[in-house]
């Protein structure tokens, strides 16, 4: 978390506020968030006066295409999210200049602040400080091992059912772990793997190569359905994630399995169970999703 829908929502929220803006400065009280270049001083020097030409997503990464052949990569990790607005520093804390959604308690953990040439600001709020920020030469980023090993985008038109079957062919792992493998399919994490499996009526521990043609088809359609719906609703905000304007996403009303342990299945009324699959929690209906 954030996963594909939250990152896509962030990109869409950033575009109207960040495109054609230039960085005039940057502040941080936790410089370790910046992984490239080696020092925050170099980062601050290099990013200054760079203009934002585009904002796009690859898997769970947000990429800002900048002038001069550079790209800024932000991976929000577990609890990070980008916000755009205006803040003022009061007693060493950044406070929004006016009342509104930026005052949400989850938006107060600001550890990196970018200043735009029009007076607005872009903040990275991250309670656990796990986010990653890197400044790359664009060609180097696009040809990096990190990018080359990322799997196909599940919402791309090229991600056909045949492509999906090819990816899962002969895979011996448990299906939930396979869905979360970023080298196989980009952007799916714990939430949407559990949701897609619930819709497809597939147990999270089922061995992948044992899935029938019908199950594969149902799963393929469920992945598309869940991701598209969440993007439409602005992502999931039951925990830390917030949109760039500080508001919550609305997917929570549609969540059927993830984090609903002990609650009734929306399909059959059986209580949702939680188990560990590959050290991560998996939520499922024991009646609808039999092993």
Q: List residues with catalytic annotation.
A: 2-3, 60, 280
* Structural contact between residues 139 and 172, judged by C-beta atoms closer than 8 angstroms: no
What are the structure tokens assigned to 84, written together? 């755009």
Take residue 184 and report the two structure tokens written for it: 């196989």
Are 72 and 66 a contacting pair, CB within 8 Å? yes
Give the three-class secondary structure for 167: helix
Task: Classify 15 as helix, strand or coil.
Answer: helix
Distance CA 131, CA 125 (A): 9
3-state helix, strand, coil in the chain (%, to 5): 30, 25, 40
Q: Rounded to 5 degrees, what are φ and ψ at 236?
A: -110, 125
Asked if residues 133 and 112 have their Cβ atoms less than 8 Å apart, the reply is yes
Structure tokens at 85: 């607005």
Cα–Cα dist 268/288, whole Å:
7
Tokens 């609890």 belong to 79
Alpha-carbon distance values, 117 to 123, 157, 249 (Å): 15, 37, 28
Closest-CA residue to 153 (of 114, 175, 182): 182
Rounded CA separation 133/85 (Å): 20
Q: Cis check for the bond before 37: say yes or no (omega within 30 of 0).
A: yes
């Amino acid at each position: 978390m954030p996963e594909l829908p939250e990152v896509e929502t962030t990109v869409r929220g950033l575009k109207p506020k960040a495109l054609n803006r230039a960085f005039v400065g940057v502040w941080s009280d936790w410089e370790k968030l910046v992984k490239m270049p080696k020092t925050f001083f170099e980062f601050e020097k290099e990013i200054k006066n760079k203009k934002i030409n585009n904002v796009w997503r690859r898997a769970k990464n947000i990429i800002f295409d900048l002038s001069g052949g550079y790209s800024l990569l932000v991976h929000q990790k577990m609890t990070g999210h980008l916000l755009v607005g205006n803040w003022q520093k009061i007693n060493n804390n950044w406070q929004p200049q006016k009342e509104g959604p930026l005052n949400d308690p989850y938006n107060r953990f600001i550890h990196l602040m970018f200043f735009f040439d029009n007076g607005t600001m872009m903040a990275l709020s991250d309670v656990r400080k796990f986010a990653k920020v890197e400044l790359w030469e664009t060609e180097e980023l696009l040809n990096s091992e990190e990018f080359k090993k990322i799997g196909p985008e599940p919402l791309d038109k090229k991600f056909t059912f045949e492509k999906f079957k090819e990816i899962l062919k002969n895979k011996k792992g448990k299906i939930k772990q396979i869905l979360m493998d970023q080298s196989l399919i980009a952007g799916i994490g714990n939430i949407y793997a559990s949701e897609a499996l619930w819709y497809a009526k597939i147990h999270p521990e089922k061995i992948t190569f044992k899935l029938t043609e019908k199950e594969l088809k149902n799963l393929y359609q469920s992945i598309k359905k869940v991701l598209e719906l969440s993007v439409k609703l602005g992502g999931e905000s039951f925990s830390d994630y917030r949109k760039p304007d500080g508001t919550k996403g609305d997917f929570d009303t549609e969540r059927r399995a993830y984090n609903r342990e002990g609650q009734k299945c929306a399909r059959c009324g059986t209580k949702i169970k939680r188990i560990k699959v590959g050290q991560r929690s998996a939520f499922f209906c024991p009646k609808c999703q039999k092993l």
